[in-house]
Structure 1
Amino acid sequence: MHKYLCALILIFSTHALSEPLYWSAERGKLKYLIVGSVHVGDDSMYPLPEKISRTLAKSNGLILEADIRKTEGLQYPAATLASHNILNKQQQKDLAGIANLLELNPSEMLNAPPWAAALTIQMRQIQYLGYQADNGVDVHLMNKAILRNVPVLGLEPLQFQIDLLTGQKEGGKELLTSTIEQFDHNENAIHCLIDSWKAGDLQKLNQFAKLTEMSPEFEQAFLTDRNLNWVEKLADPSWLPNKKGQYVMVVGTLHLIGEGNVVSLLKEKGFRVKQLSTSEQAKCEFKY
């Protein structure tokens, strides 16, 4: 089991007796409503809990990982490694087989940068299960914020995220090889994650967070460092439009669970944090 798909496939929906996980964090006159983002989804996820919608409507801003609308001037570095350069013969064969299964061009996948091939496979697999990026929670709330003239703010520039992805060791070899190795197990992981989010099952999600083959370097760059940077920014409201007030914050779910998560770090900064959602146990098990 690994975490690489989490940012893409942690899907959740409302449920009669439970809710997706969300928290309040308050310090002085500064208030955050914190929601775990899932970057793909379907119509069954909505509507979100009324508390989230009401808070967004009267908030001073919606805080995202990055404002995905700000694409002007974005740059991708020239690729120096293709997937076939970093894969052994068996891995190349497996990648080609996965590409054929997902109706992708095997030659294009083998010649794409490793990080790009991995993300393409992940997104296509998710689409085959019926989920779309346009139905992701962050996009959903961003569209609502725009309609209500609520300012949209980013914790980091979109270029930072691109540089993070494209700057991985050996062009993203770890991400690609993990995607290939775990391909056959992902369906179970996706379905159990969906069930866990529908139930708001924090224990099950924390269990998933521990079932990882992510290298320390990858986890440091994609989770640990970003969590620390975000919390430093959130604790210093000088960058916010009103320097105080109520904000809705939507970030990737993995940043809110497990060791060193944003919620725990905010507590260390003196914020009073409370889970607002009601949870129940998900009726599924992760196979690993």
Structure 2
Amino acid sequence: MPDVVAARRLARRSRDGGRSVAFARRWGARALTGAALLGVCSIFHLSAEPIGVAHAAGAAANTPAQAGRPLLPVPNQPAPPRATLPGFNPPPATSGTTASGPVRTQPARMPFYVATRGATTLYVLGTLHVGDPADYPVKQPFRPAIMGALAASPTLALELSPDELLVSQDDVSKYGVCRRDCLPGLLPEPLWHKLAWRLRGNRAALDEIRKMRPWLASLLVETYDSLSAGLQTEYGTEAQLQNVYLKTRGKIVGLETLPQQMRAFTSLTLAQQREMLAQDLAQTPAENVADVRTLHRLWRVGDADAIAAWQAAKSEKLARDKRISDSIDNKIVYERNRRFVSRMLLIAAPNKPVFVAIGTLHLGGRKGVLQLLRQRGFVVEAG
């Protein structure tokens, strides 16, 4: 079943059942790629109405606090009313015209690279799991080089396949939600009080988060911050890519499986989960929102190494325990980077290009995907 159709049916079932569910991604690479998680693809509507679920491109997956996390859904997420979103300041609307006539909007540049080794070609695009309508103009959602690469590629590889993404919520609920109020007992008392104070204006969210394990609670916090930045998951790169790709092609694969993604979280120690949540709460909501917008601006410019350097400085600043923070990065970002590259090489074949789209924070730096490809003999150039 085409992913877009399946997503719409899922969204309809969610609305009809009256459930308020949102998909989030923590660590898109430690992002607004999530924030991370791996491949969250859902449609969030920031309004006083409940947040609707659809495809899945998670907001949290790309939040700067913990980039590189996979895109995973946050089950039963209460919708944050506008008035209770600290730091919410949506970007001003633009008319799209000037005194001299209509303004032609340009697509975001985005980090895009071409990796070649002999006759084998990999097109690598850094994604954000949330975005702004202006990032993808209707008449030209991507710049010509990206559109050409999509047209030339028999296979589109995402972090998680659309089929697995659609069923991921059950596993998230199974491993991330307790039958009772467990979170207060899993956190040091000061950290719990800090979280409760953060959610003081949203009683429904506070009631839900009590039943979450710390790693899932961090996703909820990150999702709210991404929504507060005025970004939306229906304008996440993965969703927009599929809108273009499925018109002419249909082979979309995942670079990792849902169980592999889930293990990135379920195998975290309690100390690691506490560190994740503590980093989310280290700054004020307004500061987190500012970071989300900064990452969005850097992504629009399209330099993966500059983004990696910014993220490294950010991670250094937020880390409460550097040793534990580094161990989280290794599990959620770097181990997954190596898995991504291994899977790319299995899919790739001479004269059959593969278009790869993964969280932008996975690309740059000495442990990033681009450097790992160079180590495998690829020549990597900006697209």
Q: Counterpart in 1 of 2:93?
A: none
Q: Counterpart in 2 of 1:205?
A: 307
Q: Counterpart in 1 of 2:268?
A: 168
Which of the residues 224, 228, 236 maps onto 2:334? 224
Secondary structure at 1:131's aligned position in 2? Answer: coil
Secondary structure at 1:228's aligned position in 2? Answer: helix
Secondary structure at 2:335's aligned position in 1? Answer: helix
AA aligned to 2:142 is L
AA aligned to 1:248 is F
AA aligned to 2:117 is R
Residue 144 of structure 1: CA displacement? 2.4
AA aligned to 1:167 is S
Shift of the 158–183 alpha-carbon distance from structure 1 to 2, 3 Å rule, reads farther
AA aligned to 2:227 is Q
- Calculate the TM-score normalised by the size of structure 2: 0.63
Matches within 5 A, 1:2-21: 4-6=30-32, 7=34, 8-9=61-62, 19-21=109-111
- 2:127 equivalent to 1:37: yes
Matches within 5 A, 1:53-72: 53-70=147-164, 71-72=166-167
Give the total of aligned pairs. 270
Matches within 5 A, 1:1-288: 4-6=30-32, 7=34, 8-9=61-62, 19-46=109-136, 47-70=141-164, 71-72=166-167, 75=171, 76-77=174-175, 79=177, 82-101=182-201, 104-170=204-270, 172-184=273-285, 185-202=287-304, 204-211=306-313, 212=315, 213=319, 215-235=325-345, 237=346, 239=347, 244-276=351-383
Shift of the 67–130 alpha-carbon distance from structure 1 to 2, 3 Å rule, reads same
Secondary structure at 1:35's aligned position in 2? Answer: strand
* Structure-2 separation of matches of 1:148 and 1:183: 45
Of stretches 123-132 and 178-187 in structure 1, the one that deviates more from structure 2 is: 178-187
CA RMSD in angstroms, aligned pairs only: 2.9
Residue 111 of structure 1: CA displacement? 2.7
Structure 1: where are the runs of 5+ without partners?
277-288
Residue 191 of structure 1: CA displacement? 1.9
Shift of the 225–202 alpha-carbon distance from structure 1 to 2, 3 Å rule, reads closer
4+ long deviations beyond 6 Å? none
Residue 199 of structure 1: CA displacement? 2.2
Residue 253 of structure 1: CA displacement? 1.1
* Structure-1 separation of matches of 2:105 and 2:201: 33
Residue 15 of structure 1: CA displacement? 7.8
AA aligned to 2:62 is I
8 A Cα contact 2:228 2:289, kept in partner: no
Structure 2: where are the runs of 5+ without partners?
1-26, 35-60, 65-103
- Calculate the TM-score normalised by the size of structure 1: 0.82
Residue 231 of structure 1: CA displacement? 1.9
8 A Cα contact 1:10 1:38, kept in partner: no
Shift of the 5–29 alpha-carbon distance from structure 1 to 2, 3 Å rule, reads closer
Secondary structure at 1:266's aligned position in 2? Answer: helix
Shift of the 186–103 alpha-carbon distance from structure 1 to 2, 3 Å rule, reads farther
